[in-house]
């Protein structure tokens, strides 16, 4: 029981660049996928699919997807940013933003200074540093009967992400959820 609590307490999102030479062993990848398979879901609908991408050409193409900067995200999350690991440990909450573009590291960003190029370069480097990307695809149409606006399905999707995250963490594999790929690209 203490091992599980330790795992929960030490889980974190990795915001830096990964080591692209560090491959995830197939056995570990299978354990992460198995953790998702055993996720509880509303009415056992299993309303998600997982796509694993490890082909460098495809990762390169994904890294080139243009994602516009969301100024609201920057403004609303600024108070959660720490700019060193020591600051993050001291706060005990928030996001390590030391790797974010400089134009994001201000409480009231000037829209003309917050460039899409900064964001796209940062995200491109991060994706290209990965040996694998896992896409969790949520299907809101695959929902429990009589559950319009299925909030339980979203909770189930979150449970799948957490199961995978905790398994990866237990195997010493860093995780970063890149939600910007779920936004409409330009």
pLDDT of residue 166: 94
Check residue 38 and give its pLDDT. 93
Domain that holds residue 51: 2-11+18-65+132-182
**Residue 161 sits in a domain of what CATH number?**
3.40.109.10
Digit-coded pLDDT (tens) for 153-168:
888 889 999 999 999 9
Is 119 contained in some domain?
no
Cβ-proximal residues to 150 (8 Å cutoff; 6+ apart), any chain: 42, 47, 140, 143, 144
Does residue 92 fall inside a structural domain? no
pLDDT per residue over 36-48, tens digit each?
999 988 878 788 8
Residue 104 domain flag: no
Distances (CA, A) of 69 to 22, 59, 103, 109, 136: 30, 21, 11, 11, 22
Q: Where are the strands (E) in the chain, listed by range?
A: 48-53, 81-82, 95-96, 133-138
Q: For residue 125, tell me if it sits in a domain.
A: no
Report the pLDDT averaged over residues 86-96.
Answer: 82
Helix-helix angle 151-170:26-37, to 10 degrees = 150
| Number of domains making up the chain | 1
Find the radius of gyration of the CA atoms of the chain.
18
pLDDT band at 186 (very low <50, low <70, confident <90, very high): very low
Tell me if 99 is assigned to some domain.
no
Q: Is 149 part of a structural domain of the chain?
A: yes
Give the 3-state secondary structure of residue 176. Answer: coil
Q: Does residue 170 fall inside a structural domain? A: yes
Residue 167 lies in a domain: yes
């Amino acid at each position: 029981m203490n091992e599980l609590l330790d795992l929960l307490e030490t889980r974190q999102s990795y915001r830096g660049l990964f080591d692209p030479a560090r491959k995830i062993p197939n056995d570990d990848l299978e354990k992460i996928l198995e953790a998702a398979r055993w996720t509880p879901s509303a009415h056992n609908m299993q309303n998600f699919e997982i796509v694993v991408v490890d082909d460098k050409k495809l990762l390169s193409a994904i890294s080139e997807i243009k994602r516009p900067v969301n100024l609201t995200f920057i403004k609303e999350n600024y108070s959660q940013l720490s700019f060193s690991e020591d600051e993050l440990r001291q706060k005990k909450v928030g996001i390590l933003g030391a790797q974010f573009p400089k134009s994001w590291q201000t409480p009231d960003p000037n829209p003309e200074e917050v460039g899409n190029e900064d964001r796209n370069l940062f995200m491109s480097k991060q994706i290209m540093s990965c040996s694998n990307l896992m896409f969790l695809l949520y299907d809101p149409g695959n929902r429990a009967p009589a559950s319009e606006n299925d909030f339980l399905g979203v909770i189930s999707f979150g449970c799948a992400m957490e199961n995978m995250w905790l398994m990866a963490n237990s195997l010493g594999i860093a995780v970063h959820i890149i939600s910007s790929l779920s936004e409409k690209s330009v």
